[in-house]
Amino acid sequence: MSSSDTDETPTISFLISNKKKRLLVIDGYIYQQNKSTAKLCSVLDQDELTTVKKNLQSQKVDVSNEFINDTWQRVYKIHFLKQNLTTCFDCRRFFYYYQKGFSDQGLDCHEVVFFWRLKRMIEITSNAIRQQISNIETRRLEREVKEILDDFSGDETLKENLLQGKRVDLAEELKRVRQVQEKLEKFIEALSTEK
């Protein structure tokens, strides 16, 4: 695909998408009887593909069959989700009747389970991605802190400049006092063993 084709891709996609939406409503190949009773196929057959391609060519838009099929897949998915969402809204309306004991409404509510599973899958996926991102960031921060601390450990003057203050001085004095105390204890033990 050349650079000019790449620039026109959103426009072509929009034209194909609009044409297919018009086909959903008008074209007798896709809708065999009428809008409410027709079943859409997830894949266009050769006749439908040819019809779409000729209609686009009449509008001076030249595209490949693969591009038409890709666009059709997106349009079909949107149609599928909207159709199932409409059924879910009907199920919500008929839930009142279900509570009253009228369960034979001729309404199949498998779509509710479908959307619940879809929602659950999205939640699990987002949690996994969030965990991966936090793990990656944690490792990155650990590496950066380790590099900085390694740089600091090699430079004595930098450590002295960074570690100044009353508490640091007291800690150093305390460390010296402990060393002196340990030496005194060893000396006392040595004296007591000599006696």
Q: How far apart are CA 67 and CA 5, in angstroms?
A: 12
Q: Which residue type, as a one-letter code, is found at position 160?
A: E
Q: How far apart are CA 193 and CA 189, in angstroms?
A: 6
In this prediction the pTM is 0.47
DSSP state, residue 75: H
Q: Are 105 and 97 in contact (CB under 8 A)?
A: yes
Q: Can you give the residue ranges of every domain in the chain?
A: 3-100, 109-163, 165-195
Q: What tens digit of pLDDT does each residue of 60-118 get? A: 878 888 888 888 888 888 888 888 888 888 888 787 777 777 766 666 778 888 888 99
pLDDT at 2 over 60: no
Least confident of 26-30, 135-139, 153-157, 171-175: 26-30
pLDDT at 22 over 50: no
Q: How far apart are CA 98 and CA 91, in angstroms?
A: 9
Q: What tens digit of pLDDT does each residue of 41-55 get? A: 778 888 888 888 888
Q: How far apart are CA 57 and CA 127, in angstroms?
A: 46
Write down the pLDDT at residue 26.
33
